[in-house]
Amino acid sequence: MTTTKSSPSLDSPDLLLTLLSLKTTGDVETLLSRLPVVDDTAYLWTDTDPAKGWHAGMLHWVPVGRDRGNAGRIQLAGDPYNPSAERLVNGMEAIIELMRRTELLENPEAPMPQSPREAVERYFRLPRLDMIPRTKDKEHRRALEETLRDVRRQLILRLEFDKKLKEFAVEIRDRGIGQPPARIHETLLSLGRTDKAEKPYLIGVFGQGGSSTYAASKYSLVVSRRPAQFLDGTPDGIGWTIVKKVIPKGRRDPYYAYLASLPDGRVPSIAIDNSRVNEFAPGTLFRHIGYDFGRQGSAVARTLFYALNHVLFNPVLPYDLYALKDKPDPMHGTAYRLARQTAQLASKGDKSHLDKPFQPQMVV
Q: Which residues bind other proteins (CB under 8 A)?
A: 73, 76-78, 81-82, 85-86, 89, 115-118, 121, 127-129, 131, 135, 203, 205-206, 208-209, 301-303, 305-307, 310-316, 323, 327-330, 333-335, 337-338, 340-342, 344-345, 348, 350, 352-358, 360-364
Q: Closer to other proteins at the Cβ: 271 or 346?
A: 346
Considering the complex, what minimum distance in angstroms separates the CB of residue 195 from other proteins? Answer: 16
What is the residue type of 173? R
Q: Closer to other proteins at the Cβ: 157 or 301?
A: 301
Q: Closer to other proteins at the Cβ: 43 or 319?
A: 319
Cβ atoms of 177 and 230 within 8 Å: the answer is: yes
* Distance in angstroms (rounded) separating the CA atoms of residues 171 and 156: 8
Considering the complex, what minimum distance in angstroms separates the CB of residue 323 from other proteins? Answer: 7
What phi and psi, each to the nearest 5 degrees, are found at residue 345?
A: -60, -45
Q: Closer to other proteins at the Cβ: 131 or 272?
A: 131
Cβ atoms of 277 and 266 within 8 Å: the answer is: no
* Distance in angstroms (rounded) separating the CA atoms of residues 278 and 268: 18
Considering the complex, what minimum distance in angstroms separates the CB of residue 360 from other proteins? Answer: 4
Q: Closer to other proteins at the Cβ: 20 or 76?
A: 76
Helices (H), 107-190: 116-124, 138-152
* Distance in angstroms (rounded) separating the CA atoms of residues 171 and 280: 14
Q: What does the DSSP 8-state code read for residue 352?
A: S
* Distance in angstroms (rounded) separating the CA atoms of residues 264 and 268: 12
Considering the complex, what minimum distance in angstroms separates the CB of residue 2 from other proteins? Answer: 35
* Distance in angstroms (rounded) separating the CA atoms of residues 130 and 357: 12
Considering the complex, what minimum distance in angstroms separates the CB of residue 139 from other proteins? Answer: 14
Q: Closer to other proteins at the Cβ: 206 or 253?
A: 206
Distance of CA 153 to the CA centre of its chain: 15
What is the residue type of 161? F
Considering the complex, what minimum distance in angstroms separates the CB of residue 152 from other proteins? Answer: 12
User: Strand pairing of 319-323 and 155-162?
Assistant: parallel
Burial of 364 (0-12, 13-18, 19+ CB in 10 A): exposed
* Side-chain-facing half-sphere of 333: CA atoms under 13 Å: 21
Q: Closer to other proteins at the Cβ: 78 or 233?
A: 78
Cβ atoms of 289 and 213 within 8 Å: the answer is: no
Considering the complex, what minimum distance in angstroms separates the CB of residue 79 from other proteins? Answer: 8
Cβ atoms of 314 and 335 within 8 Å: the answer is: yes
DSSP three-state, residue 198: helix
Q: Closer to other proteins at the Cβ: 57 or 360?
A: 360
Considering the complex, what minimum distance in angstroms separates the CB of residue 321 from other proteins? Answer: 9
Considering the complex, what minimum distance in angstroms separates the CB of residue 110 from other proteins? Answer: 16
